[in-house]
Amino acid sequence: MTAQAMNSILKDAQAALKNRLYFSAYPENPKAYAEDGNEAGKTAFSKQLNENFTELDSTDSIGWIGTEVSPYMQVGLGVHYPQFSVDALISKANAAKSAWISIPAEKKATILVEMLDAVKERFFEIAYATMHTTGQSFVMSFQASGPHANDRALEVIAMGLQELSRFDADVNWVKNMGKFDLTIKKNFKPISKGIGLVIGCSTFPTWNTVPGLFANLIAGNVSIVKPHPKSILPIAIVVAEMQKVLSKHGLPMSIVQLAVDTVENPITKELAEHKDVKLIDYTGGSTFGDYIEGLNGKTVFTEKAGVNSVILESVNDPKAVFGNLAFAASLYSGQMCTAPQNVFVPAGGIFTSEGHLSFDEVVSGIAAAIKGLVENPKMGPFTLGAIQNDVTKNRVLKTLENKNVALGPLECVNPEFADTRVLSPSVVVVDAKDADTWQHECFGPILFIVKAADSNECLSLTAASAENKGAITCQCYSTNETFMNEVENTMNEVFTPVSFNFTGAAFVNQHAAFSDLHVSGGNPSGNASFTDALYINRRFVWVGNRYL
């Protein structure tokens, strides 16, 4: 990619940040890429199995480790990565800091965009790596770990350039003192905070990782990526391409490092607690997220667990609504931080354009929509994907015990992989008073239909849940404008965005780069947002100097 093309992309990205309209520099349709890209990517992935991943800088490594297992084949991938001690990682990061800091922000931005351009050439390979580490379907793996991840990375680069250029670098400050002018030369510098640690998750190993990584880098901070031990390969490919671009520019590859560990011998806490690590990005469960947020002397960005709710008050087309909810709950088997979990329905039912539906009819309508999707051989297996690990599957099955189950797990055979770890969404009916069942995150394929007294209680319970437990999304179906305004205002007060009356191709799970803010940062689901100005500004400090 030419310098002119990179500058054009950055200009377009900065414009999109302001107008919030649709923008994507990386098409999400696989057909937009090389005709032989899919086959080449699949071949590259297959060749990597049972081999050492040798593309990363392995200087000072102490061995090779890797324990990833495919949720589709349920066998180990056999890929091993260079292992480093924490001291070696920190030492190499410190040694690389000055080289990265010395580069102007505009030059950093073009280098980072060049990295994204290199990653783009491996979208198909990354897709297969994501598929066989997370359990996402191929299409979701391609889109989420490829184009969508690149778009989010570009978004933070553009935001970084905007915030790093907020002040003029050099000024002559003049104050009239009556008989003379006092003139002082001043400069303003954004000073990076130090080493950044980016802690990845097992379900979205690149999409959730690259925003913090590229935000650190545009702000001048060298970074260490600590992926989840179960999902390494996708982000390893990304980091490898980043290191190649750094080397091409004569820069230390250790500006970006990959720190691999195992579940049995983790190094995350040792890295997080190291005095030289100043910034931490974390995606994952609330317990460890609370620990990260409690560390002293660190600037922390978290995305933790949340309980996402749906309010059903009244609808125009019940079939379209139930179908939309079924897809949202089934997509990647509910293993998305934006997936709905609780559907609040008034005990008296809801009004529709086709007449009144009782509570039981709403339950049976949602259950039938999920059943229809799962049992559709052209949709079911490819919408559900696979369950990333047995912990998730067993937790959901345990939750179903002694509950009012309107729809249990259904058989769903993946035509490509007979050994797929699969579990279709279950529907559980609960009373609002049974808060111990629904008022905590149950990650995975399960939907609770919560019977509330009326629509007002539906809203109050949803707001209280978001305020106390956190929520990343909220969905509302209503034909009553007054009620919709009340929902928007009430949920926004607990820092939760609302999606109204989504049907068709609009799903609550999906957040668009350059337009939608992912996590508000205002409730217990996380303290940061992809991507507002704070996501960049907290990674550096403005310092002003004066010369008389």
In a domain, 512, yes or no: no
In a domain, 516, yes or no: no
138 shares a domain with 82: yes
Give the pLDDT confidence score for residue 3 in this predicted structure: 80
In a domain, 506, yes or no: no
In a domain, 518, yes or no: no
What pLDDT, in 10s, does the model give residues 295-322? 999 999 999 999 999 999 999 999 999 9
CATH number of the domain to which 420 belongs: 3.40.309.10
Q: Are 220 and 108 in contact (CB under 8 A)?
A: yes
Tally of CB atoms within 10 A around 122: 21
Give the pLDDT confidence score for residue 1 in this predicted structure: 76
47 shares a domain with 18: yes
Give the pLDDT confidence score for residue 439 in this predicted structure: 93
296 shares a domain with 316: no
Give the pLDDT confidence score for residue 273 in this predicted structure: 98
394 shares a domain with 275: no
Give the pLDDT confidence score for residue 34 in this predicted structure: 94
318 shares a domain with 295: no
Give the pLDDT confidence score for residue 268 in this predicted structure: 98
Give the pLDDT confidence score for residue 347 in this predicted structure: 98
Q: Are 51 and 40 in contact (CB under 8 A)?
A: no
In a domain, 520, yes or no: no
User: Which contacts of 275-279 are long-range, i.e. CB under 8 A and separated by 24 or more positions?
Assistant: 276/90, 276/93, 276/94, 276/194, 276/195, 277/90, 277/194, 277/195, 277/196, 277/197, 277/224, 278/193, 278/194, 278/195, 278/196, 278/221, 279/193, 279/194, 279/195, 279/196, 279/197, 279/216, 279/221, 279/539
Count of the separate structural domains present in the chain: 2
Name the token pair of 49. Answer: 């199995």
Give the pLDDT confidence score for residue 2 in this predicted structure: 82
- The helix (run of H) or strand (run of E) holding residue 280 is strand 277-283
In a domain, 224, yes or no: yes
313 shares a domain with 296: no
Residues of the chain with pLDDT under 70: none
Going by the DSSP 8-state scheme, the letter that residue 36 receives in this structure is T
362 shares a domain with 244: no
Name the token pair of 473. Answer: 């999304």
Give the pLDDT confidence score for residue 112 in this predicted structure: 98
C-alpha angle 319-325-331 in degrees, rounded to nearest 5: 130
57 shares a domain with 29: yes
Q: At what angle do helices 481-493 and 455-469 cross, to 10 degrees?
A: 20
Give the pLDDT confidence score for residue 4 in this predicted structure: 84
CA distance 24 to 512: 9
271 shares a domain with 148: yes
390 shares a domain with 451: yes
In a domain, 28, yes or no: yes
240 shares a domain with 128: yes
In a domain, 51, yes or no: yes
Give the pLDDT confidence score for residue 7 in this predicted structure: 85
327 shares a domain with 289: no
CATH number of the domain to which 110 belongs: 3.40.605.10
Is the preceding peptide bond at 130 cis, omega within 30 degrees of 0? no
- What residues make up the domain containing 390? 309-500
Give the pLDDT confidence score for residue 330 in this predicted structure: 97
